[in-house]
Structure 1
């Protein structure tokens, strides 16, 4: 039997006439122009929580998340036209609205939108796939009720898929899986399902099977309803339902039985039907999928090709059928009335009852055209313009001036937000993860999100000093928006150090500083604080004497410089062992300052000197010519004189490093660590993962995050912390000395030019 699913209206877009389906609701008359919009529908207040879904779309890099979101918005009538991610038509995908995203063809920031499908309001957050922007996925999944895990039909379960899966488990987010790119050469959805079961340990089964292979993919087979679905032109809008092809019917029954068996193993109701050897009805199967999916006991697997406009509408049907609404999700807050340490968790009432006290979580900050834009998930009660809300972390009150809903880079003013809504506020000073409540509930807070530690650091500085103010403004804004971006100043190397999740992460922010704040910056390898203690005790006797008419300068210092014990080789020590009045007491602090000043920069590598003790034994002064400056200069020159005659040992910081990797990559990772002069302390293996414990010089760890990802297909992780200082290898010492001498030679011509100008 052939069923042609066509609406009773003809739409026109860009001069092309075609039939338009709207959420499988077939109106008898509908007047639509090229700027078709469902704004009038979306503006209506959604009273019932059953009519809301909050979902995120997450996946590995280049699995087709943004393309899928573009199709969802098009088929639900939110967009009038579809555009490609790469922006070949100079427009680009709606959700990749940042210029850098369209230029690079990747998603950098998570973007929010909303749309309607079958009278269900769906709030969508499209997240990045690159591991460098993993915090965007983290904070999106923290506030969502469900997710779509997109897998490439060719690549299958890839490196970032593991990370996304861990994040979903951390926040207990139910998901449906969409195997994308069936049209690509080498696609194999059966292999992808096998990887889901073996690598991710998902109890997963097909709800659909492909019709055709690779470029000949025509549609899908619905296993629950036993029907074939074809998506014909224009743009996959003409959906045709037909009987299952005769040559596929045996496979359909086998896969349907496999689906029922997977469900029966985790669902009590369907298990009883299975034991009774009764064939469950379509409604019973769908109800079992909904129950088990919400409990994360089963993962339904759908498929299609978003780029070729196939399978998107059936995915939308699955989202509203199987993913939970806000009322079906369990949301927990903490009662801190008796102290943070004894906070008691309690379940929030997610019904759309505005009488309940308002509780919301700020999960993302963004600098908008009208000030800071704060994305907030409303968990309980409601909030409207003019309300006063309180930040439970700072106890600061804020009046809600503007309340909007976000559609990528567009905003729509709304009067009120209810439980289950994702909305945005303007002009609220807060940090990512802050909880907002109404008066009388300041003891309540939501559990914040997990923020991973930065894995890479680089030095950063503006090219021109005149851009320093813009550079500071940009850094202040970016560090507030992104909790994984950290900035600190290293007084020893006199460098600004920027830390983040990867080299791409830092490179993107350097480009944004130039584009958005006109502060062009350079990134480089940070200087590692090598330090040089003298090895032998040396006697010094230095006289600083200068007479040029009038009051002169006179100061003499006598003493010994000696090394500190190895456990104190990062310290500097000053001892006053003088007796009598050869050096008046008021000059002792100046002598100490001169000693410390001389140790700030060594002659061999330009790094700070440490691990020495300055023993002041005797000296002399002049009743007229002695001064603080005289003794400061005498001490400084005495240290420099001694350092020129002494032997040095260059030290470097050693880091304790812990590397966690799958077992199959252990040998390659060990080879890479040995090349970085690592000392392996031990290994540990558990459940397919190995942990390597080692000590590595900090100077050798630069760029290791990128190397580890390439060696382990993105599955490896590492942490490191400072251990101690140890002598550097001979070749490293010589390299540092040569580099410093070259920098001094390069600086000499500039000094000569300045003298000529003067």
Structure 2
């Protein structure tokens, strides 16, 4: 049976989970329809999901279609921007995506981000325009916006009585539709265009060409319907099944390396959950090889082999013991006590970094009542394995627990989860912005740690600034092994990455390239850990020589207000150091797109509602880091000793190393 992994993605409240429920029902996977409103949806089973009516974690379900010899795994992902990290990991495991868009609200902030990510990764994408039964439905407007942002749209549905409960959506058919399909394919495929001009194209050939364009991420079929009414669902499922059948299972191989005799094990953990009796549960997609109960596997965050105690298949919160997970399938593995979400299983699978889920806020977490903070630290350690973007930091000297978050909704969910799961009442400080640093010019960092004996480590590093958004690049250089053992060179690489977590102002340093240009060890005096002591000093000296400047997070705002408020809104954007971009007026409303520093705009949604008497709307999404104004400074408290205080650093590190 071929396996096809489909992810359902959307902006919050577009109807994604309701559509998932309808697909399960239409595919015969469930006998009764669940409901988001009543808290009975199969893929929203956490108590907080039932209470809030939103998805906060990715959840799997499965449809088996024996007549097509196809199994479809549905991955229902969170819709709120605060949980984008979960969506990003899900994108790495998909064969295709169903993007759900509300016909009423149209292309919203999170939808734009998802579309960009799908286009960047060339993930085959189907669009389902939902809620065509609602007043205000505008299918034509949504289609226009989709074509503008993504292109390659092939409209599949015939919609009648849009905007009413009497509406309907059927598959387009007939000669006119066949001509439209042929023209669509001809625009993308010259060979097909030649056959079409010669009038030698059959309907089957046309649809096979559409399928191939879809699987290459070059065609985006667009269906319409109402998930609430079950309308258009069977047409969508039929297309998914036909596509899975036509793909021949090729998508299941992903990018994994295959061996003629024995496929190399390769997969990715897209989610980690916790079971009271079994401990950590690693939910993964396997690209090649197989995972068996009582077998052993490795994950990227832990070097030693770990034993698999059970292999499960989940449908929502329920599971069955399947014993074996094969290439192309999605399942869950028990027994991996050392595993984190995002880990690679077996051989590393090179995935593209989407980075649209960067948390740019930090909060301090504490207990509501004074007491032992260790249970709270343990709780966040467990939660950080499930969501690494939390990036928990604890400084024992200051007794401060700091975590990174994407927004206030995530804080509300964390508060509820920690109470329900760990029995702890947590209190969060008001969110503050996370700044970053980057170097201002090229330079070098050097240190020679040769006293007091026994020790010997010499490190020389070259620093080079990179364009904004490039991240960190490390170049191993070409220092020979007899000058510096390769194992010590690996120590240098690790220490460079760790040290750049705190720059001159205490923030993470990014958008730079660091090259190991020189160094040496001593065959007698070098201690195995000397380069972990020496390298941070060289890194900090390099940062000081190059100088660093601060970067701050920006948000893209889309503001819609009655026309009479346009002047006030433009004034607000300018006051927030924002840049006004597109401005339009239509039907008495003023629409403004602007780019604004996050530090200035965190509470603007509340301000906007107050100024417009509740008539204004705001959409916001993170859009990267940019340089702070000249002369602006913002320092954060450093964790541990600063390597620039060389004597204190050496004394502290030598004590920790047992010298």
Superposition TM-score, scaled by structure 2 size? 0.67
Give the deviation of 1:260 after TM superposition: 2.7
Pick closer, same or farther for the CA change 1:330–1:84 going to 2, 3 Å: closer
Using the alignment, how far apart are the partners of 1:61 and 1:528 within structure 2?
A: 24
Structure 2 residue matching 1:150: 3-state secondary structure: strand
Correspondences of 1:331-730 after superposition (within 5 Å): 348-349=257-258, 355-369=262-276, 370-428=278-336, 429-437=338-346, 444-447=348-351, 450-451=354-355, 452-466=357-371, 468-489=373-394, 495-525=400-430, 656-657=551-552, 659=554, 661=556, 671-672=571-572, 674-676=574-576, 678=577, 703=603, 713-715=619-621, 717-719=623-625
Residues 135 and 403 of structure 1: is their aligned pair in 2 closer, same or farther, counting only changes over 3 Å?
Answer: same
Change (3 A) 1:528 1:384: closer
Cα displacement (A) at 1:110: 0.8
Query: Quick check: 1:151–1:180 contact (8 Å CA) kept in 2?
Result: yes
Task: Provide the C-alpha distance between the structure 2 equivalents of 1:703 and 1:525, rounded to a whole number of angstroms.
Answer: 11
Q: Decide whether aligned partners of structure 1 residues 162 and 192 sit closer, same or farther in structure 2, where only a CA change above 3 A counts.
A: same
1:442-490: CA deviations, max 9, x gaps? 6x55437545321222232111234634322221111111122123357
Partner Cα separation in structure 2 for residue 216 and residue 691 of structure 1: 37
SS in 1 for 2:132: coil
- Judged with a 3 Å threshold, the aligned counterparts in structure 2 of structure 1 residues 221 and 725 are, in CA distance, closer, same or farther, namely closer
> What's the CA shift for 1:427?
1.7
Q: Give the corresponding residue for 1:53.
A: 4
- Residue by residue over 1:302-357, the C-alpha shift from the partner in whole angstroms, topping out at 9 and shown as x without a partner, is 11112112211111111122357473238565xxxxxxxxxxxxx5349xx88323
Unaligned runs of 5+ in 1: 1-45, 227-252, 334-346, 530-653, 729-758
Separation in 2, partners of 1:691, 1:151: 23
Deviation at 1:162, TM superposition (A): 0.8
Contact 2:553 2:622 in 1 (8 A): no
Q: Deviations over 1:370-414 (max 9, x none)?
A: 210001111112221222222355321112211111111011111
Q: Secondary structure at the match of 1:84?
A: coil
Which residue, out of 60, 83, 92, partners 1:112?
A: 60
Contact 1:362 1:435 in 2 (8 A): yes
Matched, 1:212 2:107: no
After superposition, the Cα gap between the structure-2 partners of 1:325 and 1:400, relative to the gap in structure 1 and judged at 3 Å, is: farther
Using the TM superposition, give the Cα deviation of residue 287 of structure 1 relative to its aligned residue in structure 2, in angstroms: 0.7
Q: Following TM superposition, by how much is the alpha carbon of 1:269 offset from its aligned partner in structure 2, in angstroms?
A: 4.5
Change (3 A) 1:664 1:513: closer
The reply to whether residue 187 of structure 1 matches residue 137 of structure 2 is yes
1:136 CA drift (Å): 1.3
> Is residue 365–residue 481 contact of structure 1 (8 Å, CA) maintained in 2?
yes
Q: How much does 1:707 deviate?
A: 8.1
Does the Cα contact within 8 Å between 2:550 and 2:633 map onto a contact in 1? no
Aligned equivalents of 2:267 and 2:56: distance in 1?
25
The answer to which of 460-469 and 398-407 deviates more is 460-469
Question: Pick from 189, 207, 221: which aligns with 1:286?
Answer: 207
2:91 paired residue among 141, 147, 153? 141
* Superposed CA offset, 1:1-25 (max 9, x none): xxxxxxxxxxxxxxxxxxxxxxxxx
Pairwise CA distance, 1:99: 0.8
Structure 1 residues 80-229: aligned runs within 5 Å? 80-87=31-38, 91-117=39-65, 118=67, 119-198=69-148, 200-217=149-166, 219-224=168-173, 226=174
Distance 1:702 1:179, change over 3 A: closer
Give the 3 Å change call, closer, same or farther, for CA 402–274 of structure 1 in structure 2.
Answer: same
Deviates more, 1:124-133 or 1:152-161: 152-161
Name the CA distance, whole Å, in 2 between partners of 1:148 and 1:707: 35
How far does the alpha carbon of each residue in 1:598-630 deviate from its partner, in whole angstroms, 9 at most, with x for none?
xxxxxxxxxxxxxxxxxxxxxxxxxxxxxxxxx
TM-score, normalised by the number of residues in structure 1: 0.59
In the alignment, the residues of structure 2 paired with residue 487 and residue 723 of structure 1 have an alpha-carbon distance, to the nearest angstrom, of 29
1:722 positional shift? 7.7
1:322 aligns with 2:243: yes
Once the two structures are TM-superposed, the CA of residue 72 in structure 1 deviates from its matched residue by: 1.1
Structure 2 CA distance for aligned equivalents of residues 287 and 706 of structure 1: 51
Find out whether 1:69 has 2:20 as its counterpart: yes
List per-residue Cα deviations over 1:113-145 (Å, max 9, x = no partner).
111134310011001111111111111111111
In the alignment, which of 180, 187, 203 is matched to residue 265 of structure 1?
187
RMSD of aligned residue pairs (Cα, Å): 3.7
Higher RCO structure, 1 or 2 (CA under 8 Å, sep 6+)? 2
Alpha-carbon distance between aligned partners in 1 of 2:236 and 2:215, rounded to the nearest angstrom: 16
- d(CA) in 1 for partners of 2:574, 2:154: 43
Alpha-carbon distance in structure 1 between the residues aligned to 2:632 and 2:97: 49
Q: Matched residues in 2 for 1:113 and 1:387: separation?
A: 25
Evaluate the alpha carbon distance shift between residue 167 and residue 84 of structure 1 in structure 2; reply closer, same or farther with a 3 A threshold.
Answer: same
Report the Cα distance in structure 2 between the residues aligned to 1:502 and 1:527, rounded to whole angstroms. Answer: 11
CA–CA separation in structure 1 for the residues paired with 2:427 and 2:288: 46
> How far apart, CA to CA, are the structure 2 residues paired with 1:173 and 1:527?
35
**Structure 1 residues 691, 211: CA separation in 2 closer, same or farther (over 3 Å shift)?**
closer
Q: Which SS does the other structure have where 1:184 is aligned?
A: coil
Asked which structure has the greater CA Rg, the reply is 1
Match of 2:475 in 1: none
- With over 3 angstroms needed to count, the CA separation of the structure-2 counterparts of 1:465 and 1:693, relative to structure 1, is closer
SS of residue paired to 1:54: strand
Mapped to 2, the partners of 1:193 and 1:502 lie a distance apart of 30
Q: 1:263 to 1:513 in 2, by over 3 A?
A: same
SS in 2 for 1:458: strand
Following superposition, the deviation at residue 420 of structure 1 comes to 0.4
Match of 1:305 among 226, 231, 234: 226
- In structure 1, distance between residues paired with 2:31 and 2:263: 39
Separation of aligned partners in 1, 2:16 and 2:236: 13
Aligned residue for 1:713, secondary structure, equals strand
- For structure 2, the 5+ residue unaligned runs are 435-548, 561-565, 583-591, 610-615, 635-659
How many Å separate the matches in 2 of 1:701 and 1:222?
44
Are the structure 2 counterparts of residues 104 and 396 from structure 1 closer, same or farther at C-alpha, using a change threshold of 3 Å?
same
User: Cα distance 1:321–1:357, how it changes in 2: closer, same or farther (>3 A)?
Assistant: same
User: Deviations along 1:499-519, whole A, 9 cap, x unmatched?
Assistant: 211111122111211111111
